[in-house]
Amino acid sequence: MAKFGNKSKRKLKSCHDDLQLICNEAIKTIDFSVLEGHRSLKRQQKYFRQGRSKLDGIKKKSKHQSKPSRAVDIAPYPIDFKQKAKSKARFYLLAGVMLQVSKKLLDDGKISHKLRWGGDWDSDKDFYDQSFDDLPHFELVEV
């Protein structure tokens, strides 16, 4: 069974309890790394300038900026970004596991938020209607 390394554990600790529970359950099924939990304003603005985020961190805040973070960025492990098609497919597989785990935990009353994925912002399972894909990104939304 896969388990988190120390860096992933440290980053996950900066996240909301619901995200921690979802990730700790999902790692039992699929191996992945936690890339980022809480994000500083400076880092958020850097990502905005680079076009990696649509949120500037001031007028529009990221859920990564809250304490605890209401967003987490994760990636399948190991990941080979040179093989774009296979890497992308692994992000979709990981998203399926994360969304299924979160649904079960919500149905069982163990978490109190739904999970939204950056590859399907409107959660309609139509992956072609996105104007901005953020495949590593998962965030909590109110039920």
| Predicted model pTM | 0.95
Degrees, nearest 5: CA angle 143-57-97? 40
Q: What are phi and psi of 17, to 5 degrees?
A: -55, -40
Tell me the per-residue pLDDT of 54-93, one tens digit each, with 9 for 90 and over: 999 999 999 999 999 999 999 999 887 788 888 899 999 9
Tell me the per-residue pLDDT of 28-56, one tens digit each, with 9 for 90 and over: 999 999 999 999 999 999 999 999 999 99
- Residue-range domains of the chain with CATH: 6-142 (3.30.1380.10)
Q: How big, in percent rounded to 5, are the helix, strand and coil portions of the chain?
A: 40, 15, 45
